[in-house]
Structure 1
Amino acid sequence: MKKEDIHIGDWDRILFGEGPPAYLLEVVVRVALVYLLIFISIRFMGKRLIAEMARADLVARVSLAAAVGLAIQRPGRGILVSAVIVMVIIFVGRLLAVLVFKNRHFESAFQGKYSTLVNDGVIDIKLINKLLITKERLFAALREENIRHLGQVQRFYMEADGKFSLVSQENPAPGLSIIPEWDPGLRESQQKSDTQLCSTCGTLQTTNPIVCIHCGNNHWEPAIYLPKKVD
């Protein structure tokens, strides 16, 4: 657009842009499809992408940023187009919220499901590999909850929104240490028991098997326990 085409009183251009008013109807279809496309793409890109906010909130923010940006930066883009986009985003967002509330299958399809990463002190290795979560990342999340070994963990979930939640054992059993190997001083200072555990997933060794029955690992290490506090 040439500078001589820009006039402050040109309300047709300011409101509708360079397109005809009928283009607003096409905008409704375009933004609804793009909204759903972004939503589905984020759904399949994994939980960790959205760990800090709800999936619908993330999609809405991305869509709103795209809607208002062009109207501000391009003189040929009308404000009404952005207004229609915003209204469609709000409508689609509220529609999805209603569907999620009324239909559990729809909720699982769009919001995802929770995953049990640790079950009674044992890591689900296949699951964390599927979710692309390393043991180091898992152990770091547990240390944030003031956990020292897996025997303190009854359940450790990855929620549908990508966040972690912990259910602690009321009576902790000896478990696999989660202190990193690059801190040998603290790791070696932990109290070790005679119980042997799989060094990969934390499964208890029984009847001296060659490989772990849970993950197939063949390396074992002593379980860690926390000494009881003396009153």
Structure 2
Amino acid sequence: MGIVLHVWRDMFQLPIPLLEKVLRPVIVYLCLIVFLRLFGKRELAQLNPFDLVVLLSLSNTVQNAIIGDDNSVTGGIIGAFALLAINWLLMWVLYRTPKLTKTLEGSSSTIIRDGVVDEMEMKRQTLSPEDLASVLNKNGFNDVSQVDLCVLEPNGTFYVKGKSPSFEQIERGEIMAVLEELSNEVRSLRRELESRR
């Protein structure tokens, strides 16, 4: 019976005050939001293995700051609740105040416009040509000239829009298709006439 009580106490007794247990994840959460905003959208985009390593290491680095010297189940539940609560509260506030959302999240960055790469914006976002090529390939494009618009969104995702053919290109394509069809008919008629001789 004594062992059960000892295990029960170790699992659920908080070694640190409840207020500290709630404040730790909230402070770390807010600091991470600020740091990710300062260091840019690239970290969220996870363009290469280094970005992924940074994000994975980041979670491990702040773990002790969030939980402190507490390994109890109760402490884990309280910490998880505090993280979810601060996230919900922040999303609720951002939903209600679009201006604050724009300030916190930042704005979109246009990387390609009408097939032309904005080199200065690539430098600001620390995007290498290889990173950009990878993004375009994932979206089904082999060349920058095929892209009408490529935007790095504040949440780290890329929006890529291909060039739409112009009215003249569509019309030219239709005319070429009709000419090809007529050429095929003329060839078949020639063969038919030659076979009758």
TM-score, normalising length from structure 1? 0.57
Give the drift of 1:117: 0.6
Higher helix share: 2
Per-residue CA deviations over 1:28-48 (Å, capped at 9, x if unaligned) read 122211111122222223323
CA RMSD of aligned residues (A): 3.4
Report the AA paired with residue 14 of structure 1: M
1:137 to 131, 138, 152: 131
Residue 43 in 1 paired to residue 40 in 2? no
Report the AA paired with residue 169 of structure 1: K
Residue 9 in 1 paired to residue 5 in 2? yes
Give the drift of 1:145: 2.9
Residue 112 in 1 paired to residue 106 in 2? yes
Give the drift of 1:93: 0.7
Give the drift of 1:99: 1.5
SS of the equivalent of 1:166 reads strand
Per-residue CA deviations over 1:170-220 (Å, capped at 9, x if unaligned) read 237xxxxxxxxxxxxxxxxxxxxxxxxxxxxxxxxxxxxxxxxxxxxxxxx
Give structure 1 stretches of 5+ with no counterpart: 1-5, 53-57, 173-227
Query: Following the alignment from structure 2 to structure 1, what is the Cα–Cα distance between the partners of residues 127 and 20?
Result: 42
Residues 116 and 158 in structure 1, CA contact (< 8 A), matched pair in contact too: yes
Give structure 2 stretches of 5+ with no counterpart: 47-54, 167-172, 178-197
Query: Following the alignment from structure 1 to structure 2, what is the Cα–Cα distance between the partners of residues 82 and 110?
Result: 28
Q: Counterpart of 1:199?
A: none
TM-score, normalising length from structure 2? 0.65
Report the AA paired with residue 12 of structure 2: L
Report the AA paired with residue 8 of structure 1: V
% identical aligned pairs: 20
Larger Rg: 2
Query: Following the alignment from structure 2 to structure 1, what is the Cα–Cα distance between the partners of residues 110 and 144?
Result: 14
Give the drift of 1:78: 2.8
Figure out how many residues of one structure are paired with residues of the other and give that number: 157
TM-aligned CA distance change 1:86 to 1:150, over 3 Å: closer
Higher strand share: 1
Residue 128 in 1 paired to residue 125 in 2? no
Residue 166 in 1 paired to residue 160 in 2? yes
Map 1:78-227; keep pairs closer than 5 Å.
78-171=72-165
Residues 16 and 77 in structure 1, CA contact (< 8 A), matched pair in contact too: no
Give the drift of 1:70: 6.5
Report the AA paired with residue 36 of structure 2: I
